[in-house]
Chains A and B, each alone.
Chain A
């Protein structure tokens, strides 16, 4: 009996582990899904926008602890907003200075944004040092809930999960229910026609790109609750994130969610049976194999050419 409940507890915690990985992947992938899925732009510097968000949160945290300690329980919400804003603005500038010149050369965009990511990483290193930093978390984010004797669920994990759900919901509303979303989708499907009916496609591009970067910034803020931040924190996830988006079928939000879930649960389950790095090898190989057999991703529609 006790063996059974123990096993159940391990299973539940492993499931929760998978959910955490899922949230991280999804948060990363959401921004990329709109940039890659809607615009077809490969942004190799996407991870660095996440790092921007994480460092912003760290700055908010250290400013709060040194100047307004009483404010500490609440700063995190402002940090999220700040992370979004800063990443959004940097994204806006990057689109203006770099991306818009390369829209018709996707492979070159890939290389140029890789260069950008190198520059940004070095900028982080020069500003914050090569050592990893951590934001001081408000007390209410610490600790864990115990729904039963042997199950232990950390609050920060729950917080990230909540944030992921809210953000995904908001993005879905924005894309599928708002005027702006309509414009974005119209531009994706037929750029020339959209321009002809009076949509400022350049502006749509710029805002879409900046928004994707802003979401990466929020993801960065969420990251600080579960890990520390270094100059290359974001770039570690870039391949996983791209695979998530591609596996999801690039253009669909539901596909991205499903593929993030699949990858995360595979990874978490595999980690239960083998060493972490082998689990990663197994998961990535599985994704690559699926993509070889079904290059259009898991979710895609057959369209008339």
Chain B
């Protein structure tokens, strides 16, 4: 594997909370344009891994390289500006603003105080907002207050807010949690569409959904890498079966 093709290289990543290692000497490589799904039982360190990559939690040891840029020492907003987007487990949107404003605020311009003061709603912004809204099935809800959206729509809106930033690496934490079957279907389509031209890391529990989207699957267990490979290979792996069924 040539190094230039790597979007993300995680090496020896460790974090300990009061002696407890939530992520322990982990190595993980994500190719460019790859959609990687991370699975694992509860407490395996999946969310902590995303937290470490996007700077929400500081690593105790190890490195995270995004396009050869070391992320572990960078402040969160710089990591975002470098091209890493992250969606939280519970939909995290601005309930007091409209759907339009939610997307507009996520537009990557006017990010300094002065820039925000002089930010204008140009036709470019409006066009982008409409394009993204169409993508996330919220075209006709633009003027609604975000708090009035359904749970699934809120998940989509947060994905849309990431799309506004055009991240090169997009990380989604359980994007279909709490969604209906049709919504799951539409989300899988959405992810397959937006995965073109960027790398993605998705945490998910729903195996059917994982099968629908994953290029490659990583299994975490107790903060360590347990298995990695195609969906079939991972499902046939005796260690994985042991962890999922063994206790």
Contact = CB atoms under 8 A, between A and B. Distances in A.
Interface of A: 301-305
Interface string B9-27: 0000000011010100000
A303 B22 CA distance: 11
B31 interface: no
A305 B18 contact: no
A302 B18 contact: yes
Contacts of B48: 304
B56 A304 contact: no
A65 B22 CA distance: 65
12 contacts: A301-B18, A302-B17, A302-B18, A303-B17, A303-B18, A304-B17, A304-B20, A304-B22, A304-B48, A305-B51, A305-B56, A305-B57
Contacts of A305: 51, 56-57
Contacts of B56: 305
Interface in B9-62: 17-18, 20, 22, 48, 51, 56-57
A195 B121 CA distance: 48
A2 to B, nearest CB: 54
Nearest to A301: B18
Interface of B: 17-18, 20, 22, 48, 51, 56-57
Contacts, number: 12
Contacts of A301: 18
B59 to A, nearest CB: 13
A303 B51 CA distance: 13
Contacts of A302: 17-18
Nearest to B16: A302
Nearest to B15: A304
Contacts of B20: 304
Top 9 closest pairs, chain A to chain B, by CB: A304-B17, A302-B17, A301-B18, A304-B22, A302-B18, A303-B17, A305-B57, A304-B48, A305-B51
A92 B48 CA distance: 41
Contacts of A304: 17, 20, 22, 48
Nearest to A303: B17
Contacts of A303: 17-18
Given A302-B17, A303-B17, A305-B57, 9 more contacts: A301-B18, A302-B18, A303-B18, A304-B17, A304-B20, A304-B22, A304-B48, A305-B51, A305-B56
B42 to A, nearest CB: 13
Q: Which of A301, A303, A304, A305 lies at the interface centre, i.e. has the most chain B CB atoms within 10 A of its CB?
A: A304
A302 B56 CA distance: 14
B84 to A, nearest CB: 18
B185 to A, nearest CB: 32
B223 to A, nearest CB: 11
A287 B51 CA distance: 32
Nearest to B17: A304
Q: Which of B17, B22, B48 lies at the interface centre, i.e. has the most chain A CB atoms within 10 A of its CB?
A: B17
A301 B18 CA distance: 7
B217 to A, nearest CB: 25
A303 B19 CA distance: 11
A56 B63 CA distance: 62
Nearest to B20: A304
Contacts of B22: 304
Contacts of B57: 305
A305 B20 CA distance: 13
A303 B57 CA distance: 10
A302 B17 CA distance: 6
Nearest to B57: A305
A305 B57 CA distance: 8
A138 B48 CA distance: 62
A161 B17 CA distance: 38
Nearest to B43: A304
A301 B20 CA distance: 12
A303 B20 CA distance: 10
B43 to A, nearest CB: 10
A18 to B, nearest CB: 33
Nearest to B45: A304
B19 to A, nearest CB: 10
